[in-house]
Amino acid sequence: MRRPFRGLQVPSGGAWRRCKCSWGATPFMVSAQSGDVATVKYFLDHGGDLVKADDKGRTVLHHAAGIGCCKVTEFLLSKGVPVDIDCGRGTPLFWAANNEQDKTVKILLEHHANTQRRF
């Protein structure tokens, strides 16, 4: 199996799930910004929480969509992440549109993201 983040030693026993960076993002959330579906899948297969939000109200889908990681966005949606998930700071569609990620916006709209939500 391919190892995520070449050279990174992922602690056994799920200790990585308790790790957070200064803005509350977990390694799973940060991996969503990498564009590497294999790494995201690794964290998901080892207990990554699809609906947990960081300190700014962003889930793993917000992280992927907001930076324009199309393949990761599609992968997460295929795993059942709610397309309109909002933990208080807007939906992934809002984050993608606000960051001018047109391809990711298109993916979210193809998955029936609600364009009428107010932020």
Q: Tens digit of pLDDT for each residue in 10-27?
A: 555 554 445 555 557 888
Show the tokens assigned to 47. Answer: 């207990």
Query: What domains lie within the chain, and their CATH numbers?
Result: 20-110 (1.25.40.20)
Q: What is the pLDDT of residue 7?
A: 41
Determine the Cα–Cα distance for residues 117 and 119; give it in Å rounded to an integer.
Answer: 7
CA 71 to chain centre: 11
Answer whether residue 113 shows pLDDT above 90. yes
d(CA 105, CA 41): 22
pLDDT at residue 94, rounded to an integer: 93
Q: Which pair of structure tokens corresponds to residue 116? A: 């009428």
| 50-108 pLDDT per residue, tens | 999 988 889 999 999 999 999 999 999 999 999 999 888 899 999 999 999 999 999 99
| Sequence-ordered list of residues with C-beta below 8 angstroms from that of 71, at least 6 positions apart, any chain | 35, 37
Token pair for 37: 């579906």
